[in-house]
Amino acid sequence: MQRTQQSGKSRKRKEQAIRSLFFIIALASVMALGFIMYFLFVEGLPVFSKVSVKDFVFGRYWYPTSQPPDFGIFPLIVASMAVTGLSAAMSIPLGVLAALYLAEAAAPRVRQWVKPVVELLAALPSVVIGFFGMVVVAPFLQDLLDIPTGLNLFNGALMLAFMSVPTICSISEDAIYSVPVELKEASLALGATHWETIARVLLPASLSGICTAIILGMSRAIGETMVVLMVTGGAAMVPESIFDPVRPMPASIAAEMAEAPFRGSHYHALFATGIVLFIFTLLFNLLADHISHRYKQTGAATL
Partner 1 sequence: MKAKGIIVLLAAAISGIAAQAAIAGSLVINGSTTVLPIAQKVSEAYMQQNPDVKISISGGGSGEGIKALVDGTTDIANSSRFMKDEEVKLAMGKNIYPVPFAIAYDCIVPVIHPTNNMSNITMEQLKSIYMGTVRNWKEIGGADGPIVVISRDTSSGTYEVWEEKVMNKERVFPRALLQASSGAIVQAVSKNKNAIGYIGIGYINKDIKPLSVNGIKGSVETTLSGAYPISRPLYMFTAGWPKGDILNFINFVLNPGKGQKYVSDAGFVPLY
Work out how close the CB of 263 gets to partner 1 at its nearest, in angstroms, rounded to a whole number: 9
Work out how close the CB of 30 gets to partner 1 at its nearest, in angstroms, rounded to a whole number: 33
Work out how close the CB of 148 gets to partner 1 at its nearest, in angstroms, rounded to a whole number: 5
Task: Indicate the residue among 11 and 263 with the shorter CB distance to partner 1.
Answer: 263
Task: Indicate the residue among 25 and 258 with the shorter CB distance to partner 1.
Answer: 258
Total H helices, total E strands in the chain: 14, 2
Work out how close the CB of 272 gets to partner 1 at its nearest, in angstroms, rounded to a whole number: 16
What distances in angstroms separate CA 78 from CA 48, 86, 183, 234, 248, one per listed residue?
A: 21, 12, 43, 13, 8
Within 13 A of 290's CA, how many CA atoms are on the CB side? 6
Task: Indicate the residue among 49 and 259 with the shorter CB distance to partner 1.
Answer: 259
Task: Indicate the residue among 198 and 237 with the shorter CB distance to partner 1.
Answer: 237
Separation of alpha carbons 172 and 104, rounded Å: 12
Helix (H), strand (E) at residue 62? strand 62-63
Virtual CA dihedral for 225, 60, 261, 269, nearest 10 degrees? -70
Footprint of partner 1 on this chain (CB under 8 A)?
A: 61-66, 75, 134-135, 138-139, 142, 148-151, 229-230, 233-237, 244-245, 247, 254-256, 258-262, 264, 266
Residue 232 near residue 153 (C-beta atoms within 8 A) = yes
Residue 71 near residue 56 (C-beta atoms within 8 A) = yes
Work out how close the CB of 121 gets to partner 1 at its nearest, in angstroms, rounded to a whole number: 24
Task: Indicate the residue among 4 and 259 with the shorter CB distance to partner 1.
Answer: 259
Separation of alpha carbons 31 and 10, rounded Å: 31
Helix 138-145 with 153-177: angle, nearest 10 deg: 110
Neighbours of 111 (CB within 10 A): 17
Task: Indicate the residue among 166 and 274 with the shorter CB distance to partner 1.
Answer: 274
Work out how close the CB of 252 gets to partner 1 at its nearest, in angstroms, rounded to a whole number: 8
